[in-house]
A and B are shown apart, each in its own frame.
Chain A
Amino acid sequence: KAGVTQTPRYLIKTRGQQVTLSCSPISGHRSVSWYQQTPGQGLQFLFEYFSETQRNKGNFPGRFSGRQFSNSRSEMNVSTLELGDSALYLCASSLEGTANQPQHFGDGTRLSIL
Chain B
Amino acid sequence: AQTVTQSQPEMSVQEAETVTLSCTYDTSESDYYLFWYKQPPSRQMILVIRQEAYKQQNATENRFSVNFQKAAKSFSLKISDSQLGDAAMYFCAYRRRGTSGSRLTFGEGTQLTVNP
A residues in contact (CB < 8 Å) with B = 31, 33, 35, 42-45, 48, 50, 55-56, 58, 88, 90, 92, 94, 97-108, 110
Contacts and interface: CB of A to CB of B under 8 A. Distances in A.
Interface string B83-103: 000000001000111101111
Interface in B35-83: 37, 42-47, 50, 52
Given A31-B101, A33-B102, A107-B42, A100 B52 contact: yes
Contacts of B96: 99
Contact of B102 (A44, A88, A98, A107): A98
A56 B47 contact: no
B103 A33 contact: yes
Interface residues of B, number: 26
Given A42-B109, A99-B95, A99-B97, A105 B45 contact: yes
Given A33-B103, A58-B103, A99-B96, 12 more contacts: A33-B104, A35-B104, A43-B91, A45-B105, A48-B101, A48-B102, A56-B102, A99-B97, A100-B52, A107-B43, A107-B44, A110-B43
Contacts of B42: 107
B106 interface: yes
Which DSSP category, helix, strand, loop or mixed, fits chain A's interface? strand
Nearest to A90: B45
12 contacts: A35-B104, A43-B91, A43-B109, A88-B43, A97-B101, A98-B101, A99-B33, A99-B95, A99-B100, A100-B33, A107-B44, A108-B44
Interface of B: 32-33, 37, 42-47, 50, 52, 91, 95-98, 100-109
Contacts of A106: 44
Contacts of B100: 56, 99
Contacts of B101: 31, 33, 48, 50, 55-56, 97-99
B102 A94 contact: yes
B15 to A, nearest CB: 27
A54 to B, nearest CB: 10
Query: Which of B45, B47, B106 has the most C-beta atoms of chain A within 10 angstroms of its own C-beta?
Result: B45
